[in-house]
Amino acid sequence: LFIFSGLEEVRFSYRVCKHLRMTIASGSVLSARHCAQAGHARNTLRWDLSPDEIRTMTDSLIARVKKVYDDVGSLNIENVSVENTLMTLANAKMDYASSHHVLAFPQYVCPSKELRSASTEADKRLSELDVEINMREDVFKRITALQNKQKDNLSAEEKRFLDRLVTLGQRKGLHLSKDIQEEIKRTSKLISELSIEFNKNLNEESKFLIFSEHELGGLAATFLSGLDKTAEGRYKVTLEYPHYYPLMKRCHNPETRRKMEMAFNSRCKEVNTAILEELIQLRAKVARLLGYGSHAEYVLEINMAKNASNVSDFLEKFHEALKPVGIKERKYILALKKRECLMKGYQFDEKINAWDLPYYMNQVEQRCFGLQPGCGGPDGKRRLPVAAMVANFTKPRKDCPSLLQHHEVETYFHEFGHVMHEICSNVKFSGTMVETDFVEVPSQMLENWVWEKEPLRRMSRHYKDGTPIPDELLDKLIASRVANTGLMNLRQVVLSKVDQSLHTSPRADTAEVFAKHCQDILGIPATPGTNMTASFSHLAGGYDGQYYSYLWSEVYSMDIFFSRFKKEGIMNPKVGKEYRRVILEAGGSVDGMDMVKTFLGRAPCQDAFFQCKGLVNSQEASM
């Protein structure tokens, strides 16, 4: 068994767990209150807030931000300046954003339901405030006046920020009649409230299923020892990722897998299906009031993709490239299933069910590569960026530390890429604020290091005696990157197309739309009676109409890695420093496409993207 340790270059790494304790690199464990008190003098991140403090701080933040907007809105238009308008609003937005994160964060991690509820309520109130301040027509008039007055006297970064404020106001309908503005405001507040409710329902989901040891055949004793038991000695299996995915990959019992898959894709089905379908209608309504054909057209306008047609073309091209690979993989998996059914005396139904897919895809990895996954501010001073990464990884047991599986390490690197983007940003105005279909580039780019031998050697060891992973096993692990590439990526196409379909229509039956795309693209039916979209948190978490961004961003992240790091050295500090300067430090101060062109020295292409997916016919196309 091997444990992947933290990166050597990362001096301090924090892990937030159910008891809000933080583990420092030395291994000592400090209480949340101690960490909060030690760090409070340097930043505003707090881990020890009470429900009353959250409510008081929320009231104070709302009052502060409203006063700033009232002051700017009452300025004589002829007297607007960079200092009294642009910088004043920038400071207020920074105050709002940083404080909002602190107040909303506990709802995702705190063990106290009272505190989670206070945090959720604060999130709702502040999201309503966000709608209010972004629809202040009086402030918008001062911003446009400043744009006309100072357009030739601004730095590039100031001009970009000011232009964004003007664009935001126009996209909120501040150039339209009062009646339409009020309707947009009312609807936007409802959208915000429903989105928070959707994710709150998922966060509070605590269902578990009970199985006997026989029903969990195929799962390692170490996995079973980490499960809670009933009074009768049966095992409680939750729907959380560290329980769900290992079971779906390794449990021999198809009926157990069926029950788990059905429960997992029925999470919050009734309540969240109703919320999502209302959200789709409300988003379409706002888009229509603003003069757009659909919500997708509205959100894509300011992305790199620009419109739904370009997204559709991109997904269709990728789908066509993957289709023959997916057909071969399904055929092979069906043969595996038939063979196992004959050996174990199961009835062979001549099809791949949703609960079969992860199980047999795991077998494909083992057969092809011999892997056994289970055995392994206003005062002018610079505000330091603060980021917190919350992960749902394998928990430690009494006799064993938390041994991360390779896919968990890949997830860690992905999320840590977002952390680096946040922490390394060195811009005048806060927030990364890049285009949504560029935001995944730094996170996906960092994933590549967990598929390279040198980094894997440096961050892994046997947890008992410290011996390294054998080269032979590392070679097999790296080769497994292309296993099941067709089906895994076709599923991303399914989710992207489902999202686009839902947000190019005024209303939709979400379960029906998902089932149709699942059958048409993946070739595997959705389980009747389930609705995966009810737990598809991206649809209520800022990726509505934009889930394609994961695939779109991957084109750029792969090009960056293979064209520079792979060629010049994955541990090359010169390339790393240039990447930090051009991509990470720039935040949202430069268009995503311009950043990529600067770093590559040319326009990006899809070669590396298709090669990494294991597709033979590498395809080149400027984007």
Does 71 reside within a domain? yes
Tell me which DSSP letter residue 22 carries: E
Quick one: 76 and 108 in the same domain?
yes
DSSP 441-507: HHHHHHHGGGGSHHHHHHTEEETTT-PPPPHHHHHHHHHGGGTTHHHHHHHHHHHHHHHHHHTTSSS
Which of 104, 39, 48, 93 has its CA nearest to residue 384?
39
Residues 55 and 168 in one domain: yes
The total number of structural domains in the chain stands at: 3
Q: 137 lies in a domain?
A: yes
Is 164 inside a domain boundary?
A: yes
Share of the chain above pLDDT 90, in %: 78
Do residues 85 and 153 both lie within one domain?
yes
Do residue 126 and residue 59 come from a single domain?
A: yes
Residue that terminates a domain, selected from 264, 286, 304: 264
The tens digit of pLDDT for each residue in 86-125 reads 999 999 999 999 899 999 999 988 889 999 999 999 999 9
Mean pLDDT, rounded, for 572-589: 95
Residues in the chain: 623
- The overall average pLDDT reported for the chain is 89
Give the mean model confidence (pLDDT) for residues 4-18.
Answer: 30
pLDDT in tens, 234-244: 999 999 999 99
Residue 37 has pLDDT above 50, yes or no: no
Looking at per-residue confidence, does 5 or 443 come out higher?
443
Q: pLDDT band at residue 366, thresholds of 50, 70 and 90?
A: confident
Same domain, 28 and 91: no
What is the residue range of 229's domain?
A: 206-264
pLDDT of residue 397: 85
* 139 in a structural domain: yes
Is residue 140 assigned to a domain? yes
Q: What is the C-alpha to C-alpha distance for residues 149 and 582, in angstroms, rounded to an integer?
A: 31
Shared domain for 166 and 55, answered yes or no, is yes
Looking at the structure, do residues 167 and 230 belong to the same domain, yes or no? no
Interval 442-492: pLDDT, tens:
999 999 999 999 999 999 999 999 999 999 999 999 999 989 999 999 999
pLDDT of 38 over the 50 cut: no
pLDDT per residue as tens digits for the range 379-392: 666 677 888 898 88
Q: What is the pLDDT of residue 618?
A: 40
16's CB contacts (< 8 A; 6+ apart) are 22, 109, 388, 389, 390
Interval 159-215: pLDDT, tens: 999 999 999 999 999 999 999 999 999 999 999 999 999 999 999 999 999 999 999
Q: Is residue 67 part of a domain?
A: yes
pLDDT band at 46 (very low <50, low <70, confident <90, very high): confident
Q: Is the pLDDT of residue 44 over 60?
A: no
Q: Of 131, 155, 175, which residue constitutes the final position of a domain? A: 175
Residue 10 covered by a domain: yes
Residue 48's pLDDT band (cuts 50, 70, 90): confident
Q: Does residue 35 sit in helix, strand or coil?
A: helix
Q: Report the C-alpha gap between 478 and 471 in whole angstroms.
A: 10
- Final residue of a domain: which of 124, 157, 175? 175
Within the chain, what is the greatest distance between any pair of CA atoms? 84
**Same domain, yes or no: 16 and 73:** no
Is 350 one of the annotated active-site residues of the chain? no
pTM for the full predicted model: 0.86
61 and 23 part of one domain: no
Q: Which tokens belong to 571?
A: 């541990």
Q: Does 171 share its domain with 63?
A: yes
Catalytic residue (choose from 415, 452, 578, 585)? 415
Integer CA distances (angstroms), 438 to 153, 302, 317, 557, in order:
29, 11, 19, 9
pLDDT of residue 381: 66
- Span 247-280, pLDDT tens digits: 999 999 999 999 999 999 999 999 999 999 999 9
- State both tokens at 161: 């920020």
| Average pLDDT over every residue of 519-530 | 97
- Answer whether residue 282 is part of any domain: no
Give yes or no for residue 17 having a pLDDT over 70. no
Same-domain check for residues 16 and 96: no
Contacts of residue 290, Cβ cutoff 8 Å, sequence gap at least 6: 171, 173, 176, 184, 298
How far is residue 244's CA from residue 412's CA, in Å, rounded to a whole number?
18
Q: What CATH number does the domain containing 83 carry?
A: 1.20.1050.40
If asked whether residues 82 and 111 sit together in one domain, one would say yes
Q: Give the per-residue pLDDT at 153.
A: 86
